[in-house]
């Protein structure tokens, strides 16, 4: 991974290269920003830049031994902690760890997690501290990457805090997170924060077109649905998006007709509750449907719709007497439910409560 391959994030790239060139690196960076926009890719690009033997023109060479090892995540001076599903044995834990690393080697923008509850185990951080207490085995800069630190257990966070408070020599710690508000303030205050923004829709569309082999029309749709996250767009491209859209549209229609109890019963039969990513994807599709509905009730033309294929149905719903003020609150409410689901709340009860809320907000009689 090098800065050339980083998509968008020009401001971040400039900050990182300038800081490294001037030798003004902090002990710890905090890379914050939405999931799937390149925090991991930037961490690896910086690692390569700091360790490459032929760096030039603000980037690593990509071909020297250090660059190659970093790409395969087998560089001796690179330490990585990633969230993994709970493991019963040490062997299973190592397998889970490498399964995730291999996924990230194959596609640095891929999202980690989804179906299972994931955490960074305390043993990972302790072992890391142990190995970092020795002198570096070779020159260059040691880099520690803590991916999605907000998924770390409190005990692991305490162990990590010690590492940040007493940083080992020649070591840069990079913490990535989409939810900085979940980190200990003492950790945040010791890191230099770098903010990653959502990417341009055109960049995302271009990327999925090239990587996922989808049609141009579908690439544009994925870019819109992912709202500027390459990781999400890729996930949408590989998952059963059409199927999920159908399910989402079916339940969406039900929100304006059924009794909420009937609707919850119907939803229970068809929603994939064991898969958090898919449940959130379905809620994201509802967000786009409500956004379209808000446009239509505000008298906008339907060429601005995301769900063009659903325009006729949306127009019918928009013609009803809907509480405009409440309608405007719905997309944000849906967003907060997806955050709860990210944080491991029970998907079935979250969606049940959501459908009751929506029924109340929409004031359907």
- Interface residues with Zn ion (CB under 5 A)? 52, 60-61, 64, 67
In whole angstroms, the minimum distance from the beta carbon of 51 to Zn ion comes to 8
Q: Are 144 and 172 in contact (CB under 8 A)?
A: yes
In whole angstroms, the minimum distance from the beta carbon of 19 to Zn ion comes to 19
For Zn ion, the closer CB: 61 or 345:
61
For Zn ion, the closer CB: 68 or 192:
68
Residue with tokens 């049940």: 352
In whole angstroms, the minimum distance from the beta carbon of 64 to Zn ion comes to 3
Q: Are 112 and 147 in contact (CB under 8 A)?
A: yes
For Zn ion, the closer CB: 64 or 105:
64
For Zn ion, the closer CB: 67 or 362:
67
The answer for residues whose C-beta is within 8 angstroms of residue 98's C-beta and 6 or more apart is none
For Zn ion, the closer CB: 15 or 61:
61
In whole angstroms, the minimum distance from the beta carbon of 2 to Zn ion comes to 8
For Zn ion, the closer CB: 61 or 364:
61
For Zn ion, the closer CB: 50 or 236:
50
In whole angstroms, the minimum distance from the beta carbon of 56 to Zn ion comes to 9
In whole angstroms, the minimum distance from the beta carbon of 21 to Zn ion comes to 16
Question: SS3 string of the chain?
Answer: CCHHHCCCCHHHHHHHHHHHHCCCCCCEEEEECCCCCCHHHHHHHHHHHHHCCCCECCECCCCCHHHHHHHCCCCCCEEEECCECCCCCHHHHHHHHHHHHHHHHHCCCCCCCCCCCCEECHHHHHHHHHHHCCCCCCCCCEEEEECCHHHECHHHHHHHHHHHHCCCCCEEEEEEECCHHHCCHHHHHCCEEEECCCCCHHHHHHHHHHHHCCCHHHHHHHHHHHCCCHHHHHHHHHCCHHHHHHHHHHHHHHHCCCCHHHHHHHHHHHCCCCCHHHHHHHHHHHHHHHHHHHHHHCCCCHHHCCCHHHHHHHHHHHCCCCCHHHHHHHHHHHHHHHHHHHCCCCHHHHHHHHHHHHHHHHCCC
For Zn ion, the closer CB: 64 or 161:
64
CA distances from 195 to 30, 124, 177, 180, 225 (A): 8, 26, 10, 11, 22
For Zn ion, the closer CB: 33 or 108:
108
In whole angstroms, the minimum distance from the beta carbon of 139 to Zn ion comes to 14
In whole angstroms, the minimum distance from the beta carbon of 60 to Zn ion comes to 5
In whole angstroms, the minimum distance from the beta carbon of 12 to Zn ion comes to 20
- Torsion, Cα of 154, 189, 194, 65 (10° steps): -70
């Amino acid at each position: 991974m090098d800065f050339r391959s980083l998509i968008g994030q020009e401001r971040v790239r400039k900050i990182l290269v300038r800081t490294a060139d001037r030798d003004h690196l902090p002990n710890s960076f905090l890379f914050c920003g939405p999931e799937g926009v390149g925090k991991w890719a930037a961490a690896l690009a910086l690692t390569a830049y700091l360790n490459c033997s032929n760096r030039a023109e603000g980037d690593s060479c990509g071909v020297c031994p250090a660059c190659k090892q970093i790409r395969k995540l087998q560089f001796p001076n690179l330490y990585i902690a990633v969230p993994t599903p709970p493991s019963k044995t040490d062997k299973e834990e190592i397998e889970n760890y490498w399964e995730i690393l291999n996924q990230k080697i194959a596609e640095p923008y891929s999202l980690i997690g989804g179906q299972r509850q994931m955490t960074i185990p305390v043993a990972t951080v302790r072992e890391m501290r142990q190995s970092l207490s020795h002198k570096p085995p070779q020159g260059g800069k040691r880099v520690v990457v803590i991916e999605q630190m907000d998924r770390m257990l409190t005990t692991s966070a305490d162990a990590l805090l010690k590492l940040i408070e007493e940083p080992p020599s020649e070591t840069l710690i990079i913490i990535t997170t989409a939810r900085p508000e979940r980190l200990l303030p003492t950790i945040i205050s010791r890191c230099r924060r770098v903010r990653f923004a959502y990417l341009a829709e055109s960049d995302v569309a271009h990327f999925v077109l090239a990587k996922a082999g989808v049609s141009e029309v579908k690439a544009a749709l994925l870019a819109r649905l992912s709202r500027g996250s390459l990781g999400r767009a890729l996930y949408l491209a590989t998952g059963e998006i059409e199927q999920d859209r159908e399910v989402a549209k079916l339940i969406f229609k039900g929100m304006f007709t059924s009794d909420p109890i009937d609707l919850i019963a119907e939803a229970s039969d068809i929603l994939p509750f064991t898969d958090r990513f898919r449940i959130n994807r379905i809620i994201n599709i509802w967000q786009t449907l409500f956004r379209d509905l808000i446009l239509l009730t505000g008298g906008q033309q339907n060429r601005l719709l995301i769900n063009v294929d659903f325009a006729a149905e949306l127009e019918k719903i928009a013609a009803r007497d809907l509480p405009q003020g409440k309608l405007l609150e719905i997309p944000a409410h849906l967003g907060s439910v997806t955050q709860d689901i990210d944080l491991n709340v029970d998907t079935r009860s979250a969606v049940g409560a959501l459908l009751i809320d929506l029924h109340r907000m929409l004031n359907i009689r």
